[in-house]
Structure 1
Amino acid sequence: MKHKPTTANGKPEGPPEFRRINSDLEGGNVMLRSYSKKLGPLSKLSSIFSSNSLTPSTPRKGSDATLVGDDSGEQDKYTSFKRNQTRRRLSLKSGIPSVPVLSVLQGARQPSVIIKHLEDIQIRQKFLLKLSKALLSFGAPSHRISSQLAAAAEILGAEAEFVHLPNIIIASMKSSPNSPSARTYFVRATGAVALTSLHQVHIVYRDVLHDKIGAEEGTKALRKLLREHPIYPLYFRCILAFFGASTICATSFGGSFLDIWISGFCACVLQYLGLNAAHKSAMYANVYEISVSIIVAFVARALSNIPGNWFCYSAISSAGVVLILPGFTILVSALELMSKNLFCGSVRIVYAVIYTLFLGFGLTIGSDFYLVVDRRARKAYYVNSTPTNLTYTHGRFVMANGSIPFIPIQGVLGQANALNYEQQHLVKGCFRDPSWQWFRQPFPWWTLLLLVPLYSTLSSLGNLQRVRSVQLPVMVLFSCCSYAANKGASVVLPGRTDIVSAVGAFVIGLLGNLYSRVIGGTAFTSMVTGVLYLVPSGIAQGGGVTQTYRSSADQYSSGFSLALRMISVASGVTIGLFVSQLLVYLFGTRKNAAHFAF
């Protein structure tokens, strides 16, 4: 080493000499090439700093930087010095320069880089595979899964490619950047939305990518989440289904005080069969939805034919099967199609349409089965559709619509009002006589101030959100704001379920993305409750799940009309969510990790 003149206290004169010596990273089995590749912006900044602040002396290629000629350089972890009123630090242990952000770069977002928790490539690959399974198991937005995994692989320095299929993720990973071959992994998992677990997965994902914890610790946390049982037992989830269906019957389907208890009981039985019988028996799981819809329609038709019109068939049957409506599946498929994920989007939307047809046909079969058993009810059902108080006219008539021109018809023509007394007092498909008691009338409008937050809370708890959590009031607040916007748009634009749903989705998308960007919460979990509320609300505005049919043609088309209404609602929700996301992320810095929202 070249000696310099020293001062009285033994310290060398002038600035410390800058050289390159052998790196301790090379002895630690850490590839210097791949590491410097990940620290491109920091390495460039440190090289500029070194050339301006220090005097390099014949560096050797492929080694790290250190300071020589200073006695304290071997004991201290960092060496600091001051130049141009700026204090700078240089790491001596790891060879990685630690340079503070200059004043001209303050406020700029630096890319995420793993510096503290450097781990082996196999550990990072295990974290990516475990993350894939957790996202599939807890109902993450499928159109975001590939981008999330790709962002995680890039930041962790693991060269990997991901292909997402329904319930399957195919991962191709290399053991090293120069390896000519790659290993392929298949990750398969099925599950429903679990809001608390999904929020915890997002926290682990964010901590690993922000270098707060290592990949091995993140893998252990994800493995623990996957092994945990649902946070609520079976009986409590059935109780949540009972009160949730009762509330949605009153708010969206015009049910009375008597109707809500029957619809809640049907939903409770449905939830029990789905979580217990269908889970244990694979054979019954194939016919679970059809059998449940037949039972609900049979019970609703039987109660609606009690003399006196005490119960409403449309309200009970619609609210009774609202838990198994594939609204979330159709919404996700529409989002995937908008994201240009054609394969998954096409498969999901075809499955959801066929599933809806099965559900509609099951409701029709259950209703007709009771009408076959009770002939009195069948006769009364079709007699009520016959117009009364006809005005008869005798003579010869000529068709004016051009179908049979200039051919007179002789006979008797009966004219009557198209709507009878029962049809004039229909409220969302239910006959409500103004002279009836309060418990046979629909709920007044001011009860929505209590019922909408109640249903939002029950829906969040039904999707496995913990009661004692900060996210629960946020979900309820966003859901209420979305419902208010949806209700206001339905008054201005009646009959346009797509535009009305788009307005509600725009509001909740705006709130959810702002909550994620400004406060740092999880956008997806805060928006799920409100988005799921838009689907039954939009279907109710289009006529409900079940519609009254009077002929075989109407009976056949009732299942198709339900599927078309659900697609219309999902399309509107998709447009609203994407527009709100565009407005929120149009300005400001770019996210380093993938966007975890709809």
Structure 2
Amino acid sequence: MDTREFIQIRKFIVKLGKMLHRYGTPAFRLEAYLTEVATYLGVRASFISTPTSLTFVLWSDKHEEEYNSAARLQPGDLDLNALSRTDELAMQLLNGQLTLSEADQQLDEIDAMPSLYGKLITLVAFGLATSAFAMLMGASVNEIMWSGVLGLVTYIWAVWATRSKRVNLMLEPVTSFGSGLLACAISRYLDPGINIPLIVLSSVIILVPGLALTMGLAELASRNMVSGTARIMDALMQLFKLYFGAFLGVAIGFTLFGENQYQPAVSLPYWATWLSVLLLSIALVAIFRTRPKHIVWGIASSFVAYGATVGSSLLMDQTLATFIGAFVLGIFSNLFTRIANQPATIVSMHGLIVLVPGSKTYIGLNSFISGKNFVQADHIGQEVFLIFMSLVAGLIFANVVMPTKKAL
């Protein structure tokens, strides 16, 4: 391998790694995928990925050429459209359908590609997702409506955070603070007796890091100690910031508008929970930027995960039911990889959102600090821990039973 060819290969691998990191790829998947690509391209490689950094070590077979690079990166956000297209591009390169220069150019095009759904559709998706979550939590019709309205406000803050570093640094506390303050104002002037903590949680549920906690535990299970620990601590800090902002917002709201007296309203019937799963999975299509050809797979994964969990809960404990749900989701995701030749992450993330106990983590934190539950929840701390463990174990067992064909 001559120097010019080695430089082309290492430039492509570095750019590919940075892009996949930006799209929220877990460390163990990113490292394994880059190693596969490097092997196909004829170079030896070692990678170290964390939520905020990525290290590359590349060398030729006989060490004629060597290259080291360390990049400081921001934690990535899920972009399933870009992830899918990047994987397709890498496969075309490895199959000889593209040259390295063509692949490098197309990587730049994918990186510059805007969201498929635009800001208006994403705004509606935020409102739909927060309303669907409130419905899933057994809220009344009015509480579902107000959760959706405040979810739109959350999206406005999220868009502002992409344009301002200061807002980005304080996104979680300022968003939950605003939701708490507005919920108190709504209770005082428009709709007395609403469940304010539930509305606040629903309105910021997209920012609650339940998925990040699950990914961190999965990284620890794969012995990516640094990345897993860092991701878990970052997720816990986000959770603390969300709770503190909500606590402060509600406290100031009660001072300004008077304390709210919660009056339980009639919840929707049981079938509404299935409707909420459908609405939530549809909203996640725009939030995760899922490609149109994968929409049906993504929605189906939500129902597969939720249906397996609910069905199993009729016969066993909720924790074991979550294990079954995660196991079935893992099988379904790996089956998708074999059929569509696309990363399992594309569909597994949709199903995991329904299963991860991010909301229960928030509720447990509230119970620990205030001593009060705004929804019925007994032994919430133990339940959250066991559910997280069941999720990780279910996905691991699924990969043993039906190994995935792709590292991503």
The secondary structure found in structure 2 opposite 1:470 is helix
Deviation at 1:326, TM superposition (A): 0.7
Partner of 2:153: 269
Closer, same or farther in 2 for the Cα pair 1:331/1:305, shift >3 Å?
Answer: same
Partner of 2:345: 524
The secondary structure found in structure 1 opposite 2:47 is strand
Partner of 1:105: none
User: Does the 8 Å contact 1:363/1:546 carry over to 2?
Assistant: no
Given residue 163 of structure 2, which amino acid in structure 1 is its aligned partner? K
The secondary structure found in structure 1 opposite 2:46 is strand
Q: How many pairs align? A: 402
User: Does the 8 Å contact 1:357/1:563 carry over to 2?
Assistant: no
Deviation at 1:181, TM superposition (A): 6.3
Partner of 2:269: 444
TM-score (norm 1): 0.61
Q: 1:461 aligns with which of 253, 273, 286?
A: 286
Q: 1:147 aligns with which of 32, 38, 61?
A: 32
After TM superposition, the structure 1 = structure 2 runs for residues 352-501 of structure 1, keeping only pairs within 5 Å, are: 352-375=235-258, 377=259, 431-432=264-265, 441-466=266-291, 469-493=292-316, 496=318, 498-501=319-322
Partner of 1:115: none
Closer, same or farther in 2 for the Cα pair 1:311/1:546, shift >3 Å?
Answer: farther
Q: Does 1:513 align with 2:334?
A: yes
For residues 445-467 of structure 1, the C-alpha deviation after alignment (integer angstroms, 9 at most, x for no partner) is: 2234443222212112211124x
The secondary structure found in structure 1 opposite 2:162 is helix
Deviation at 1:548, TM superposition (A): 7.5
Given residue 482 of structure 1, which amino acid in structure 2 is its aligned partner? A
Partner of 1:582: 400
Partner of 1:341: 224
User: Does the 8 Å contact 1:330/1:566 carry over to 2?
Assistant: no
Partner of 2:391: 573
Partner of 1:284: 167
User: Does the 8 Å contact 1:267/1:320 carry over to 2?
Assistant: yes
Q: Percent identity?
A: 21
For residues 155-188 of structure 1, the C-alpha deviation after alignment (integer angstroms, 9 at most, x for no partner) is: 21123322212232111223x4334662212344
Given residue 173 of structure 2, which amino acid in structure 1 is its aligned partner? I
- Aligned counterparts of 2:78 and 2:58: Cα–Cα separation in 1: 28
User: Does the 8 Å contact 2:132/2:276 carry over to 1?
Assistant: yes
Greater RCO (CA < 8 Å, at least 6 residues apart): 2
User: Does the 8 Å contact 1:333/1:346 carry over to 2?
Assistant: yes
After TM superposition, the structure 1 = structure 2 runs for residues 303-342 of structure 1, keeping only pairs within 5 Å, are: 303-304=186-187, 310-342=193-225
Deviation at 1:199, TM superposition (A): 0.7
Partner of 1:34: none
- Aligned counterparts of 2:72 and 2:115: Cα–Cα separation in 1: 20
- Aligned counterparts of 2:226 and 2:309: Cα–Cα separation in 1: 31
Q: 1:194 aligns with which of 72, 75, 79?
A: 79
- Aligned counterparts of 1:261 and 1:324: Cα–Cα separation in 2: 19
After TM superposition, the structure 1 = structure 2 runs for residues 126-145 of structure 1, keeping only pairs within 5 Å, are: 126-145=11-30
Deviation at 1:323, TM superposition (A): 0.9
For residues 173-210 of structure 1, the C-alpha deviation after alignment (integer angstroms, 9 at most, x for no partner) is: 23x43346622123444431111111111111222233
What do you get for the CA RMSD once the two structures are aligned?
3.0
Given residue 407 of structure 2, which amino acid in structure 1 is its aligned partner? H
- Aligned counterparts of 1:219 and 1:253: Cα–Cα separation in 2: 46
Gap regions ≥5 residues in structure 1: 1-29, 32-118, 382-429, 433-440
User: Does the 8 Å contact 2:180/2:247 carry over to 1?
Assistant: yes
More helix, by proportion: 2
More strand, by proportion: 1
For residues 41-69 of structure 1, the C-alpha deviation after alignment (integer angstroms, 9 at most, x for no partner) is: xxxxxxxxxxxxxxxxxxxxxxxxxxxxx
Given residue 238 of structure 2, which amino acid in structure 1 is its aligned partner? Y
Closer, same or farther in 2 for the Cα pair 1:355/1:493, shift >3 Å?
Answer: farther
Closer, same or farther in 2 for the Cα pair 1:567/1:461, shift >3 Å?
Answer: farther
- Aligned counterparts of 1:299 and 1:197: Cα–Cα separation in 2: 35
Closer, same or farther in 2 for the Cα pair 1:260/1:555, shift >3 Å?
Answer: closer
The secondary structure found in structure 2 opposite 1:169 is strand
Q: Point out the structure with max Rg over C-alpha.
A: 1
Deviation at 1:129, TM superposition (A): 1.2
TM-score (norm 2): 0.88
Gap regions ≥5 residues in structure 2: none
Partner of 1:259: 143
Given residue 298 of structure 2, which amino acid in structure 1 is its aligned partner? M
User: Does the 8 Å contact 1:360/1:562 carry over to 2?
Assistant: no
Given residue 528 of structure 1, which amino acid in structure 2 is its aligned partner? M
The secondary structure found in structure 2 opposite 1:431 is coil
For residues 322-348 of structure 1, the C-alpha deviation after alignment (integer angstroms, 9 at most, x for no partner) is: 010011211111111000011111111
- Aligned counterparts of 1:280 and 1:519: Cα–Cα separation in 2: 36
The secondary structure found in structure 2 opposite 1:230 is coil
User: Does the 8 Å contact 1:129/1:187 carry over to 2?
Assistant: no
Partner of 2:371: 554
Deviation at 1:564, TM superposition (A): 7.3
